[in-house]
Amino acid sequence: MTRTEKRHLRNGLLFTSPGIIGFVMFVIYPVLSSLYFAFCNYTALAPAQWIGLNNFRVMIRDEKLLLSLNNTVLFGLMSVPLGIFSAFVLANLLNQKVSGLPVFRTIFYLPSVVPAVASAVLWIWVLNPQFGLLNAALIHLGISNPPGWLSDPQWSKPALAIMGVWGVGGWMIIFLAGLQDVPSELHEAAQLDGASALQTWRNVTIPFMTPHLFFASVMGLIGVTSYFAQPMVMTGGGPAESTLFFAQYLFQNAFQFFKMGYACAMAWALGLLLMLLTALWFRLSSRWVYYGGD
């Protein structure tokens, strides 16, 4: 390198050094430490003791872990499709040319920026089986015996999934941006060929939106495994551990039972599982995801 290139490299490293140091200290080091502790008996109150694969062997026999994983899978099958569908429908409605459109877009987006704990406290009142707004509306519609929602193990996960629809504004914005990128000339060509609005939406709009739907499904898969704040505030894992999700059980092992090594092993096992599922989903995406120009 020339003297000028060396000076530019030195100055570049000097200006980026805070970011590099922070990344090493707060990302690289914790990740490598958690990998080491996953093979140790570590309580955070005493030095770690190497135990090899014992934490992973215990995970296979941990019935509570299997319960939390089952709750997470069931909740994901409810919440992710429901959230994507709701956001997609809202985006299509907000893509119409009507008066006051910016106001409606703002109204539907605002719930997504409400902090998770604040929205959880709000929905505790909405879902209250005795005097909540949702059951009051159902009674007004003629349903004399509405669900118990958060107090009923059969309805607790659907209740959280319904609450999740309230915060789909982020996905709605992504879908709305995708809808505005669909070539208008294709819509015009379909109309000239005699296609109905539904046929145009199904055969023109949907194919161009598949990359956005794919992105939302991947992020939903990742997000459901880290679903923690709302059930922690609203149910604490109940009733009857019906809302004990994987992230909450990991938190309990780490900070309530002080099984830090076991919690690290859980986190790495979940990470590997997510990578496998995401890779499989990417492999299958070639069959249904269409990228414009391909």
Domain-located, residue 38? no
Domain-located, residue 46? no
Other CB atoms within a 10 A radius of the CB of residue 111 amount to 15
What pLDDT score was predicted for residue 226?
A: 92
What pLDDT score was predicted for residue 65?
A: 95
pLDDT digits 0-9 by tens, 45-100: 899 999 999 999 999 999 999 999 999 999 999 999 999 999 999 999 998 888 88
Domain-located, residue 136? yes
Domain-located, residue 25? no
75 CB-near residues (< 8 Å, 6+ apart):
157, 160, 161, 224, 227, 243, 245
**Per-residue pLDDT at 294 exceeds 60:** no
b/e burial code for range 64-90 (CB count within 10 A of at least 16 → b): ebebbbebbeebbebbbebbbebbbeb
Domain-located, residue 230? yes
- In order of 73, 124, 132, the CA distances from 79 in angstroms are 10, 18, 21
What pLDDT score was predicted for residue 96?
A: 86
Domain-located, residue 276? yes
**Per-residue pLDDT at 247 exceeds 80:** yes
Q: Do the beta carbons of residue 202 and residue 161 sit within 8 Å?
A: no
Number of domains in the chain: 1
Which domain does 237 fall in, by range? Answer: 62-285
What pLDDT score was predicted for residue 293?
A: 56
pLDDT digits 0-9 by tens, 96-139: 888 888 899 999 999 999 999 999 999 999 999 988 999 999 99
pTM flag (> 0.85)? yes
CATH, residue 207: 1.10.3720.10
Domain-located, residue 120? yes
Domain-located, residue 54? no
**Per-residue pLDDT at 190 exceeds 90:** no
- The whole-number average pLDDT for the span 275-290 is 92
